[in-house]
Each structure stands twice: as structure tokens, then as C-alpha cells.
Amino acid sequence: MPDDAPAPSTTPPGPDITTWSALLAHWTDFARASVALPDDGEGGRWKRAVPHIIALQATTMALGEIDRLDDSERPVAIDRSEITCRDAVGAIHDLWRGEPVPELVVELIDDSRVAFERAANAGVEWVVTAERVVCDHPAELVAGLRKAGFAGELFVPAPGQPVFRGAPAAFARGPAGTAPSDAQLAVIGKYLGKGSVSEPERIGLPRQIYRQFDFAAGGPVKDLVVPMNEDLPSGQPVLILAIEGGEPVSVPLPPRETPRIETLPVEIFGAETSAND
């Protein structure tokens, strides 16, 4: 954006915005009113890029407010935002074909991608608060959730594998990143063990636990907790998919004999200290 263009305002929309169409229109008007590019100077590509930049800004802001929508509106919102961002990014790359896209525009594209990922993959997470949690095979849990109408994805610990304090114990999301119902949350909480995990917390991206080994030391040495959209680190995943798209996923039975794993330090991706330090 040229240096003499005013910075967009970031005042949030009012609380009376209740539908996706109104929310997106609000941010589109807001961005259009606050972004003014001169006719001379940079001009050219920047001038033609303005509608696409506005589309990215508006969609990114609207995605940040998507939890205010009714669950019935969310799938349409996700689909529309994906199409809008894809078309805008394609047009921007066409404008700068053969030349580097300006850094500010790259940041806007990255922001829209992150906002979309967080909206589409949002769900709820339980975190271990006890020293450890060891779960049984999730067959009964899966049956209970299906009876309760659960139609999303569920990650739980592999049967018999301990999960230590500070690590995620489970993650669940409904279609298009909606939250499970209160009844479904209660079923999952009972399975994990009352008093052993936190209350479910709304998060943007699921996290995985990678159990890392030092075979020279004779076994596992720590658990690394990483968002599932990050590059895969080394280690054995501890959380497994038990339900996908509302359908059960085959989960193997735990081995008959499992050597006890003593408490492992839990390292959170991006944090400076481990949860068990």
C-alpha cells in the first residue's frame, strides 16, 4: 500500500450484526471507506488490487467474528469465505505476475489463510489437570456420541496411553467448526474422567501430542504438543481419530502388556517452559 494511504480502522462491528451477510457487508463497507489510494504514484497494480484487498480484509475480519453466527449459518459462511479468498488471491497473483507480491499484501493473504483455518477447524479441547489420564477403548464413547447426534470429528488418547498434566486430553468439533452440544460435551467429559481434565475450552485449531523417544536412554523422554497444522515433528502421535464426519473410525485395542511410562515433561509448541517443570 502506498505510504500516503490511510491505515484501515480496526473498530469492531456492533453487537447487532447477527447474520453472515450483514457481518461481511459491514466489514466490506468499513474497509472501502477507510482505504483510499491516490491516482498517481504507485497507482496501477495497487489501484486494481484494491477490491481484492478489501475482499481479503473483510473476509478475515468476518471470520474472526464467526462464532457469533448460528450453527446453521456457519457452513455457508465457511464455503463463501473460502471462495472469496481463493478468488481474491488468484486475482492478486495475476496482477503481480512475474514480480514479487508486496510484503503487505502477502501478510494480508497469510492473515486470511490463518483466519480460515481457525474458523473451519475450530472446536473444543480438554486439557489434563491431573498427574496423568489413561483412557479405555472409546467404543462406548463413540456409541454414546452418535446416539447424541454428534456429526463431527473426535480425537482422544490411544487406549492405554497415558497423557500427562498440561497436554490436551481430547478435541471435538462439529461440522464446519461448530461446537458440540452440551449433551455431547457431557458424554466426552464423563469418558475422560471428572476432576482429571479441564472444562472444555473453545480453540481455533486442534493440537496433537508427539511422544518423543531417545532409544539410547531406553524409551520416551518428553511429550511435544503441536498444532495439527504445523509441520510434523518426530515422535509417536498420542491422540487418535475416533470419529470422522460423524462416523466411527476403527481404533485398535490396547496391547495386553504395556510398560508403565513414568511422568514425562510436556513441552508446548512455542512456549519457553514445559508444563511439568
What are 85-128's pLDDT values in tens digits?
A: 999 999 999 999 888 999 989 999 999 999 999 999 999 999 99
What pLDDT, on the 0 to 100 scale, is given for residue 11? 38
Residue 27 pLDDT > 70, yes or no?
A: no
Q: Are residues 111 and 148 in the same domain?
A: no
* Element (DSSP H or E) covering residue 155: strand 153-157
Q: What's the helix, strand, coil split of the chain in %, to 5?
A: 35, 20, 40
> Which residue type occupies 224?
L
For the segment 15-25, the average pLDDT, to the nearest whole number, is: 60
Q: Are residues 250 and 151 in the same domain?
A: yes
For the segment 51-55, the average pLDDT, to the nearest whole number, is: 88
Please state, as a whole number, how many other Cβ atoms lie within 10 Å of the Cβ of residue 212.
16
Q: Determine the Cα–Cα distance for residues 187 and 138; give it in Å rounded to an integer.
A: 11
| Three-state SS at 182 | helix
Residue 4 pLDDT > 50, yes or no?
A: no
Q: Are residues 103 and 205 in the same domain?
A: no
Q: Are residues 127 and 116 in the same domain?
A: no
Which residue range is the domain that position 255 belongs to? 123-268
Q: How far is CA 167 from CA 48, 62, 134, 232, 269, in A?
A: 47, 31, 12, 17, 11
Alpha-carbon torsion 194, 196, 202, 204, what sign? negative
N-to-C CA span, the chain: 46
For the segment 58-84, the average pLDDT, to the nearest whole number, is: 92
Q: How far is CA 175 from CA 8, 39, 172, in A?
A: 33, 45, 10
Q: Are residues 27 and 136 in the same domain?
A: no
What pLDDT, on the 0 to 100 scale, is given for residue 53? 87
Residue 245: which pLDDT band, with cuts at 50, 70 and 90? very high
Average pLDDT over the chain reads 85
Q: Let me know if residue 172 belongs to a domain.
A: yes
Q: Are residues 28 and 92 in the same domain?
A: yes
What pLDDT, on the 0 to 100 scale, is given for residue 30? 59
What pLDDT, on the 0 to 100 scale, is given for residue 23? 64
The three three-digit cell numbers of residue 262, written as one number: 513414568
For the segment 245-272, the average pLDDT, to the nearest whole number, is: 86
DSSP state of 256: S
Q: Are residues 127 and 264 in the same domain?
A: yes
What pLDDT, on the 0 to 100 scale, is given for residue 218? 76
For the segment 232-254, the average pLDDT, to the nearest whole number, is: 94
Q: Are residues 227 and 153 in the same domain?
A: yes
Q: Let me know if residue 3 belongs to a domain.
A: no
Residue 276: which pLDDT band, with cuts at 50, 70 and 90? low
What does the buried/exposed string (b/e) look like for 141-177 if buried means 16 or more CB atoms within 10 Å of the residue's CB? bbebbeebebebbbbbbbbebbbbbbbbbbbbbbebb
Q: Let me know if residue 58 belongs to a domain.
A: yes
* Phi, psi angles (nearest 5°) of residue 231: -60, 145
Q: Let me know if residue 216 belongs to a domain.
A: yes
What pLDDT, on the 0 to 100 scale, is given for residue 12? 37
Q: Is the pTM of this model over 0.85?
A: no
